[in-house]
Amino acid sequence: MKILIVLSSTSQIPGSDRRTGTWLEELAGPYYTFQHAGALVTLASAQGGAAPIDPASLDDFAQTEATRRFLADDDAQQALASTVALATIQWGDYDAVFYSGGLGPVFDLAEDATSIGLIEQMNKAGRPVAAVCHGVAVLRGVVGANGKPFVDGRAVTGFSNSEEAAAHGTGVVPFLIEDEMRRLGGRYTSAADWHAYVVVDGTLVTGQNPASSVGAAQRVLELLQ
């Protein structure tokens, strides 16, 4: 069982001095969930090489057992420092793909043609596609087999408008995940702010926020069983 985790290469929000990247919990939790299930995990990113971690996700409030383990794990740190460039990935080598969040994906992966193509191929092959929090932005440009937006008519979640406002992201990101999923025809739902919430529609798995990352990874494993 091989699972690809895709990360952003964006380290700074365009036009500002605010640093960003991947939210650590949304990488570390799924990383160990997949490993514990015996999966071989590959980390990829938009550009390859070292993938940035959002500094805010290193603050004490954002730490979990998985994040602390990841920061002390030499193998994990080496994988993060040498991610595979997405353009070199062969989608057929992987049983599932998982997109971690943080603000980064909104600025690169949401518009990345290689990422869009990867998701479309995985979808056609019936392989799980998962995204959590701002990682759900990667679904924005994906087209389904029917020629309509991938999320059209599908149950989906992602970082909510109220969570975005609380995190001071409104006005910073070019679009809001909740609004964009609704605009594309997605049947968007969410739980209370910061509560774990995962939605599964066929082989599409989406998680609302950092607290949903492990649950989303577990749903992927269930689909692969």
CA distance 178 to 36: 32
Cα dihedral 207/209/213/217 (nearest 10): 0
The secondary structure of residue 129, as a DSSP letter, is E
Alpha-carbon torsion 120, 122, 127, 130, what sign?
negative
2-224 belongs to CATH 3.30.110.30: no
Predicted pLDDT of residue 88: 97
The alpha carbon of residue 57 and the mean position of all alpha carbons in its chain are separated, in whole angstroms, by 15
CA distance 188 to 181: 7
Predicted pLDDT of residue 214: 98
Predicted pLDDT of residue 25: 98
Predicted pLDDT of residue 85: 98
Tokens 């290469």 found at: 9
Q: Where are the domains of the chain?
A: 2-224
Its pTM stands at: 0.97
* Closest C-alpha among 19, 21, 20, 26 to residue 8: 21
How would you write the pLDDT of the chain (225 residues) with one tens digit per residue? 999 999 999 999 998 889 999 999 999 999 999 999 999 999 999 999 999 999 999 999 999 999 999 999 999 999 999 999 999 999 999 999 999 999 999 999 999 999 999 999 999 999 999 999 999 999 999 999 899 999 999 999 999 999 999 987 778 899 999 999 999 999 999 999 999 999 999 999 999 999 999 999 999 999 999
CA distance 186 to 151: 5
Cα dihedral 107/108/110/112 (nearest 10): 160
